[in-house]
Structures are given as C-alpha cells and as structure tokens.
C-alpha cells in the first residue's frame, strides 16, 4: 500500500478572467520509505500541489477534484477538524523559507512544544528532538533571529517530525541555503526519514539535488505531471523533451559548454497552449502536438510519460 | 601604466561594534582591480557572510570602507569631481539580486529604462531614446513589445532581471557588478541570463564582476574565480584551475558539495567538513571546519601563496610556494 496516493488531483483558482487550473489531473504514489521528488519551473504548480496535499489551499483557490489518500483517509474530503488532527501526526511539511515559518518572538523550543500541545501531546523530549536534527544543546531556548538559516531549517524539521508522521513534504527546504549547509540539512532530513520510517515528498527545481536525493521523480509542467520515473532512468534517459532540457540547463561540473536555457517562457496557466502545453517550447514538436493533448503512457515498467513521441 | 578603471585598494569594512557587541569583519584588506587589460568575467564566490556583497557595495560606492580606498581611474571615489563622478556612475553599472525590489510597482517598466536615458542625456529625441531602449532589450533576448508599457507584476522574474541587464547596458558601461543576478530565477532561466552576461563581455567588451554563492555557474560563465571566506580571498585564479584543481580545503568543500546529475549517488554520504567549534578563534578562519587543519593553522594566519601562474591560495598546505601579497591578487587573474 502507498504511504500517500494522489489520484486525479485538480486545484483551481478563481480569477476575474476565468478559472485558472494550477494543478490538473495529477496522480502519483508515494511508497512507504520512499523519497519522491517533484520538479518544475516556478509556476508549474508544484508548490500548489504541496499545499493541496496539506489541505492548505486558501480561497480563491480550491481543490476541485481528485483524492488524496493517506492511511485510509481521503484528505481531499476530510472535515477541517480531522485535517487539523492529521497534519503533523500523519503528514507534515517542512516549508520553503524557514525564516518566515517560525514565530520571531517565541523561543524555538516553545514553538516545537506548541505544535505538540496543539495535538494533545505532552511536550516532552524536546531537547532530544533538537539533538536529533543536529542542533547544539541550548538551541531550544533561542529565538529564531539568533539562529543561522540552516539551524532554522533544522528547527522546522524538528517541528515536522515531532509527532512522527508517515509522510513529510519538504518544499524547497534548502533553496535559501548555500551548498555546504544544504548538504548537511538534506542529510538530517534523510536521517529523520530513516528514524520515522517515513516517506518524503521533495519539491524543488534543482535537478542535481533530485538526482542525488530522491528514488523516483515526477516532472511538472503547467500543472500536469509530464514524466514519472525512477531517478536513475531520468538521469540515464529522460523521455520527455522538457525533462531533458531541465537537465541540460543545469551547469555541469564535468564539461563546460555553452549554457543552455530553455527557450521561451513558461505558459500562463489561464491561457494554456492547445494540445501539449509544452509544444511552443519543444524542439521536437510536430503538428499533432498543437492539436492533441498527450495522455500519460507507461512506456516502460514504472516510467510514465505524457508525450506523443516518448 | 594607466590606472585601472576600478580598483579596491586594501579595503576593509567592519559592521556593528559600538557600546555592545563585537565587530563583524565583512571585508579584510581586500585588493582587486577590474577593467585592466582584456575584458573578462571574474566571479567572486562565497557563502552568506563571506563579504562578497560588501565588496560589491564598496566598489559601487554604496558602502564606505572602514579603511582602504576605492579608486576610479586612479582617483579616490569619495573625492571625484562632479564630472568624474558622472563618468564613474556611467562606466560602472550594477545588477542586483532581487528583480522585484528594484521596480516601483506603480510605474510601468519603461520607467527604469527611460530614467537613465533622460538623466544621462543618452538620446537627443524621444524616438531615439525609444530606439536605444528597444535595442538594449533585444540584446538581452527580450522582445520590446512584450516588455514596454507593462507593469512590473506583469513580467516574469526572468524578464524583470533581463530588463535590469538591459538597463545596465543602456549606459554603455565598461564594468558591470552583478550581485547574485540569477539566484532568484529558475535554473532553466539562469542559463539564459548568464549567457547574455557572457555576450556582454565577448561582444561589447564589458568586464563583469559576478558575485555569487554558486560555484557551478561561476565556472560556466567566468574567466577568473575568487573564493572568499569570512572577509578574505582564500583562493583565486583561472576558473578552470580553481574548480578543477582546487587548492584550498574550503574550495574543495564547495566543489564537493554541489549535487550533480549523475548516476553516482555519493553526495549525501560523503562527509566533507570537520566541525570543531573549539577552533573558532584559530588564526586561520577556516580551521574550525577544515579537514586538513594542522597545529600551525591555530597560531598563524595563512597568507596567499602563488601555486601556479594563474592560481593562488591562502592555506598552510601550500606554504612552500612563494608568497603573493594580497594587493597583487590580480597577478593570477586574466
């Protein structure tokens, strides 16, 4: 059974010019103990998806279809109070930009305790929890401004793990950190995952980080998943042209060649191109791509691609 | 020999202090010349707090050094004549990290482009100004009709940042100081923006100081790399040498910390830095994190040694090489 199963998820935003669909018919499974990555450019819907799974989409946005199955519960239809209980205990999130996630006028240890109390748990073992995420003794008594970016992100990991959830969503947890600290924080996240036997959904745009961290990867473009495959498959042989270009746009340390960006701009969600949304930027596009929307096809066991030519 | 266009001469800057709290050294006796010889891109790489942004601000005259001098054509920038000051403000342009903060949301994007045209009298007529602006936008790969007449929120982050590159171009500068110009844009766009910076150097002869925390893009786009750690340069040289044969343990740590798209998955498991908080006050500022720290690192501050014709590092591991004075850092840069 999956740790988390997302089925046909749709998230829309009401906009004066009509409905904007930020996440469109997304399905994937997070297996127990698995690290699953979601990559895409800004505006691809990956963070919206994270918020939707946490049931944290606020108006004018709303989930307008699909299921989010977590341990026998459907988060998409659960009552607000049940969702509140499930958050942190069943599924927790390490937010993007820990600096804005912590309360600046509250000691960080108290913030962890608060999270536990909120779920009717006695706030015990906070020191051990802090040590578990690699924070030095005494950190619990500090205020966020006294901590470095990496330490604040560790506090967020401590909060995310305090009720031992089975799924942790990490939304660009290291995008504000430099590479050395990034690796330390990701290592902590991996250790915590092992401890909890949890699955991790890592959201980001750095293909290098994904290649080194996740077991499987989903690639998002304009609100849809265009490819899902084991990470080794993606690295060895990306099937969707967009995946290929995402990898090529990353500066490689092996060979120095002309920097290759992805030409054109990500499409506006309220005005998506016809057919395959990627076709205006795709070097392999044919007439068919502008007319016919590709459906996901399993081109090989475990490799799902939305492309007519994969 | 003519004076370099822009020069930091043994510049230091401290922050804080006062009655309470300790001084934070942001820049410590840093020397660098830009705009001498062949146009080039020099990357200044370092983590947050290494002093790289302070260096940019000092060179731009936005931060006053605590000691040392910044010179424009050999003259102290704080004592420039009105005319020289105007030339300095034209020749040296800046691109900042945040492509959101530099725009006034109530003005159309055109405003950031027409203002320099007007203030510096770049065009004799409105039409000529418009033509200049359109040309600059096209140079950075933007379509003027998609940019002009719009408000900042209607542009993507990449469009906004490229508009700033176009703005810098308008003044036909000789030097551009770009402080983390791509850290807030997507990887897919980074390549495009850095590509347009490279073209500015190759086709327009503009020298660029590229300030970044990202060694990988520094290597891709630059001719030279200077690695900074806690207010000083710890390694400098040609981009190729610094990245492919890093000499300083900090540079090695940086290179090893970049996650690569590869089938070898050793990034998470490799342990690359030591944690010895006890060595926080060692003479070498990197000693507390250094895997190669020796007794001498605690007592004696490492100075720059010249390891190769275009390679220098400040580390006791290389003390057998001839010393390179900090003010001669440019000797190893092309």
Give me the pLDDT at residue B55, please. 95
State residue B154's pLDDT score. 84
Of the residues B260, B261, B278, the best mutation for testing chain A's interface (the one with the most A CB atoms within 10 Å of its CB) is: B261
Query: Chain B interface, mutation test: which of A251, A255, A263, A267, most B Cβ atoms within 10 Å?
Result: A251
Cβ-nearest to B156 among A261, A262, A265: A265
Q: Which of residues 144-173 of B touch A (CB under 8 A)?
A: 156-159
pLDDT exceeds 70 at position B301: yes
Residue of A nearest to B212 (CA): A178
Q: What's the rounded Cα separation, in Å, for the pair A185 and A133?
A: 8
**Amino acid A37: pLDDT:** 97
Contacts of A250 in chain B (CB under 8 A): 187, 216, 261
Q: Each residue's pLDDT tens digit in chain A (310 positions)?
A: 899 999 999 999 998 888 889 999 999 999 999 999 999 887 888 889 999 999 999 998 999 999 999 988 999 999 999 999 999 999 999 987 766 789 999 999 999 999 999 888 888 889 999 999 989 889 999 999 888 888 999 999 999 999 999 999 999 888 778 888 899 899 999 999 999 999 999 999 889 999 999 999 999 999 999 999 999 999 999 999 999 998 888 877 777 766 677 877 778 788 889 999 999 999 999 999 999 999 999 999 999 999 999 8
Q: Which of B186, B198, B213 sits opposite A42 (nearest CB)?
A: B186
Query: What distance in Å separates the CA atoms of residue B330 and residue B33, rounded to the nearest whole number?
Result: 7
Decide if B190 touches A, using CB distance below 8 A: yes
- Picking from A4, A163, A160, the residue whose alpha carbon sits closest to that of residue A70 is A4
Name which of B52, B187, B214, B291 to mutate to probe chain A: the one with the most chain A Cβ atoms within 10 A of its Cβ.
B187
B chain contacts of residue A236, beta-carbon cutoff 8 Å: 263
Nearest CB neighbour to A261, from listed B47, B189, B255: B189
Q: How confident is the model at residue B21 (pLDDT cuts 50, 70, 90)?
A: low
Q: What is the pLDDT of residue A220?
A: 96
pLDDT of A276:
95
| pLDDT, average across residues B142-155 | 88
* B122-145: b (≥16 Cβ within 10 Å) or e: bbeeeeebbebbbebbebbbbebe
Beta strands B41-45 and B224-229, pairing class: parallel
Q: CA nearest B273: which of A154, A183, A192?
A: A183
**Nearest CB partner across the interface for A212, out of B193, B213, B268:** B268
**CB-based contact (8 Å) between B264 and chain A?**
no
pLDDT tens-digit readout, B304-320 = 999 999 999 999 999 99
Residue B138, min C-alpha distance to chain A (Å): 14
Is the confidence at residue B175, as pLDDT, over 90? yes
Closest CA of chain A from B77, distance in Å: 33
Question: For B91-144, how does the pLDDT look when each residue is reduced to its tens digit (9 = 90+)?
Answer: 999 998 776 777 888 899 999 999 989 888 888 888 999 999 998 888 887 889
**pLDDT for the residue B20:** 65
DSSP single-letter state for residue B72: E
CA of A183, closest CA in chain B: separation in Å?
Answer: 7
Residues of B in contact with A183 (CB under 8 A): 257, 259, 267-268, 272
The alpha carbons of chain B give a radius of gyration, in whole angstroms, of 21
Which residue of A41, A179, A253 is in closest CB contact with B219?
A253
DSSP labels, B287-316: GGG-TT--HHHHHS---EEEEETTEEEE-G
The confidence band for B194, taking pLDDT boundaries of 50, 70 and 90, is: confident
List the single residue in B47, B221, B268 with the smallest CB-CB distance to A186: B268
Whether residues B159 and A265 touch (CB distance < 8 A) is answered with: yes
Flag whether residue B187 sits within 8 Å of chain A, measured between CB atoms: yes
Kindly list the residues from chain A whose CB atom is less than 8 angstroms away from the CB atom of residue B265: 211-212
Please check the confidence at residue B1 and state whether its pLDDT lies above 70.
no
- Cross-chain residue pair A208–B47, CB shorter than 8 Å: no
Contact yes or no for A251 and B220 at CB 8 A: yes
- Alpha carbons B295 and B227: distance in angstroms, whole number: 24
Alpha-carbon distance A271 to nearest alpha carbon in chain B (angstroms): 14
User: Cβ A179–B261 below 8 Å, yes or no?
Assistant: no
Task: Quote the minimal CA–CA distance from A56 to chain B in Å.
Answer: 24
Residues from chain B contacting residue A211 (CB–CB below 8 Å): 259-262, 265
**3-class secondary structure per residue, B9-39:** EEEEEEEECCCCCCEEEEEEEEEEEECCCCC
B268/A190 touch (CB, cutoff 8 Å), yes or no: yes
Higher pLDDT, B269 or A2: A2
CB contact under 8 A, A249 and B191: yes
> What residue of A is the nearest CA neighbor of B192?
A261
Q: Looking at the predicted structure, is the pLDDT value of residue B156 above 80?
A: no
Say which of B213, B261, B267 has its CB closest to residue A183.
B267
- Closest residue in chain B to residue A230, using alpha carbons only: B263
pTM, full prediction: 0.88
Å between A7 CA and nearest CA of chain B: 28
Residues 192 through 211 of chain B touching chain A, CB cutoff 8 Å: 192-195, 198
- Output A97-103 pairs: Cβ under 8 A, ≥24 positions apart: A97/A175, A97/A176, A98/A149, A98/A152, A98/A153, A98/A155, A98/A156, A98/A173, A98/A176, A99/A144, A99/A149, A99/A152, A99/A176, A101/A156, A102/A144, A102/A152, A102/A155, A102/A156, A103/A144
Residue B168: band (very low, low, confident or very high) from pLDDT cuts 50, 70, 90: confident
Q: Would you call B213 and A178 a contact, using CB atoms and an 8 Å cutoff?
A: yes
């Amino acid at each position: 059974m999956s740790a988390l199963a997302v089925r046909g998820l749709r998230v829309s935003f009401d906009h004066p010019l009509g409905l904007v669909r930020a996440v469109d018919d997304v399905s994937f499974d997070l297996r127990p103990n698995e690290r699953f990555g979601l990559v895409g450019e800004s505006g691809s819907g990956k963070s919206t998806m994270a918020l939707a799974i946490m049931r944290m989409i606020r108006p004018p946005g709303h989930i307008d279809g699909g299921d989010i199955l977590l341990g026998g519960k459907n988060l998409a239809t659960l009552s607000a109070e049940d969702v509140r209980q499930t958050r942190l205990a069943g599924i927790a999130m390490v937010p993007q930009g820990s600096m804005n996630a912590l309360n600046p006028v509250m000691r960080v240890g108290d913030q962890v305790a608060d999270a536990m109390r909120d779920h009717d748990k006695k706030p015990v073992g906070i020191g051990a929890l802090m040590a578990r995420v690699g924070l030095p003794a005494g950190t619990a008594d500090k205020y966020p401004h006294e901590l470095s970016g990496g330490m604040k992100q560790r506090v967020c990991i401590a909060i995310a793990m305090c009720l031992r959830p089975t799924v942790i969503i990490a939304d660009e947890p290291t995008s504000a950190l430099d590479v050395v600290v990034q690796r330390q924080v990701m290592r902590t996240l991996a250790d915590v995952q092992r401890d909890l036997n949890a699955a991790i959904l890592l959201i980001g745009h750095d293909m290098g980080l994904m290649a080194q961290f996740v077991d499987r990867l989903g690639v998002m473009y304009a609100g849809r998943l265009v490819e899902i495959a084991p990470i080794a498959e993606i690295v060895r042989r990306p099937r969707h042209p967009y995946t290929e270009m995402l990898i090529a746009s990353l500066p490689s340390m092996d060979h120095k060649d002309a920097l290759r960006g992805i030409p054109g701009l990500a499409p506006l969600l309220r005005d998506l191109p016809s057919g395959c949304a990627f076709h205006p930027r795709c070097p392999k596009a044919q007439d068919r791509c502008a007319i016919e929307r590709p459906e996901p096809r399993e081109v090989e066991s475990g490799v799902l691609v939305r492309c007519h030519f994969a | 020999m003519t004076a370099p266009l822009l020069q930091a001469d043994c510049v230091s800057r401290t922050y804080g202090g006062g009655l309470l709290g300790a001084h934070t050294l942001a820049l410590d006796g840093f020397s660098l010349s830009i705009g001498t010889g062949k146009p080039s891109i020099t990357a200044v790489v370092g983590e947050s707090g290494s002093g790289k942004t302070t260096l940019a601000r000092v060179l731009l005259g936005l931060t006053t050094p605590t000691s040392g001098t910044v010179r424009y054509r050999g003259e102290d920038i704080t004592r420039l004549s009105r005319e020289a000051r105007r030339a300095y403000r034209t020749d040296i342009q800046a691109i900042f990290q945040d492509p959101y903060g530099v725009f006034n949301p109530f003005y159309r994007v055109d405003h950031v482009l027409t203002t320099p045209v007007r203030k510096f009298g770049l065009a004799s007529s409105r039409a000529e100004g418009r033509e200049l602006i359109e040309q600059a936008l096209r140079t950075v790969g933007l379509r003027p009709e998609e940019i002009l007449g719009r408000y900042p929120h209607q542009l993507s982050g990449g469009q906004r940042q490229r508009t700033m590159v176009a703005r810098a171009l308008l003044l036909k500068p000789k030097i551009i100081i770009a402080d983390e110009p791509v850290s807030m844009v997507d990887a897919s766009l980074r390549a495009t923006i850095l590509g347009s910076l490279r073209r500015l150097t190759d086709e327009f002869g503009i020298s660029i100081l590229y300030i970044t925390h990202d060694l990988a893009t520094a290597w891709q786009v630059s001719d030279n790399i200077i690695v900074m750690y806690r207010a000083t340069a710890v390694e400098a040289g040609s981009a190729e040498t610094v990245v492919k044969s890093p000499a300083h343990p900090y540079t090695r740590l940086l290179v090893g910390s970049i996650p690569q798209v590869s089938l070898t998955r050793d990034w998470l498991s490799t342990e690359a830095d030591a944690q010895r908080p006890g060595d926080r006050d060692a003479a070498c500022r990197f000693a507390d994190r250094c895997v190669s720290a020796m007794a001498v690192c605690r007592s004696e501050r490492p100075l720059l040694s010249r390891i190769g014709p275009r390679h220098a590092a400040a580390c006791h591991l290389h003390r057998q090489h001839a010393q390179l004075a900090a003010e001669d850092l440019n000797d190893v840069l092309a």
